[in-house]
Amino acid sequence: MRVLVIDPDPARAALVAEGLQGVDPLEVKQAAAFDEREVQAFAPDVVVIASDSPDRDTLESLREASQTNPRPVVMFVDRSEPGLAEQAVRAGVAAYVVDGLAPARVRPILDVAMSRFALTQQLRGDLAKAKADLESRRTVEKAKGLLMKERGLDEDGAYRLLRKLAMDKGRPIGSVAADLLAFANILKGDAS
């Protein structure tokens, strides 16, 4: 497991390392501030960051923007804010860890953060795929309608023609249908 701890204070990195004793292989790296190149090179499985670090916004934007290597983030919260950790975890905001926790709790918390993260990523992926599928089905329906009207085919015949085109070209049926509609629009003079 590769863990990056972003915190100017080496004590937290030491705590994390202590809590993860027995995990093999294990690499815990401490950085005072976020450095994109350093993070890319290290490729951590999880990032632990102090809640009072201004680098949180940068990490968060990477999570949002990059599909390439998003990673779960665990936050350390100051002990003077009782209840925040529990509330945050319950609200699903992020995995917060209260400062001063026992090393024995480190492992389960990182595990929870990583599995929660994997789940969110999967949900996002599923959602994007469901949207794309729906869009593709709508396009195919429209293309079918066009073929039925222009070529005098019945619904089944229109679908078979589309499928044949897709197989001949080795492309998904949705994109063949989209091309067909685009060309039809151009022929109608609507090139926008």
Contact residues for other proteins, defined by CB under 8 A? 33, 36, 51-58, 60-65, 81, 83-84, 87-88, 91-94, 96, 120, 124
Q: How far is the CB of 185 from other proteins (least distance, A)?
A: 19
Helix (H) or strand (E) holding 66: none
Based on CB atoms, which residue is closest to other proteins, 36 or 168? 36
Q: How far is the CB of 83 from other proteins (least distance, A)?
A: 7
Q: How far is the CB of 92 from other proteins (least distance, A)?
A: 6
- CA–chain centroid gap for 156, Å, is 38
Q: How far is the CB of 39 from other proteins (least distance, A)?
A: 12
Q: How far is the CB of 65 from other proteins (least distance, A)?
A: 7
State the pairing for strand pair 27-31/2-6.
parallel
Amino acid occupying residue 119: L
DSSP 8-class letter at 105:
G
d(CA 163, CA 149): 18
Sign of CA dihedral 148, 149, 152, 154: positive
Based on CB atoms, which residue is closest to other proteins, 128 or 186? 128
Q: How far is the CB of 144 from other proteins (least distance, A)?
A: 23
| Rounded to 5°, angle at Cα 116 from 26 and 110 | 30
Based on CB atoms, which residue is closest to other proteins, 60 or 154? 60
Based on CB atoms, which residue is closest to other proteins, 21 or 67? 67
3-class DSSP assignment, residue 38 = helix
Based on CB atoms, which residue is closest to other proteins, 21 or 125? 125
Based on CB atoms, which residue is closest to other proteins, 30 or 53? 53
Count of CB atoms situated within 10 Å of the CB of 12: 19
How deeply is 157 buried, as exposed, middle or buried, from its count of CB atoms within 10 A (0-12, 13-18, 19+)?
Answer: middle
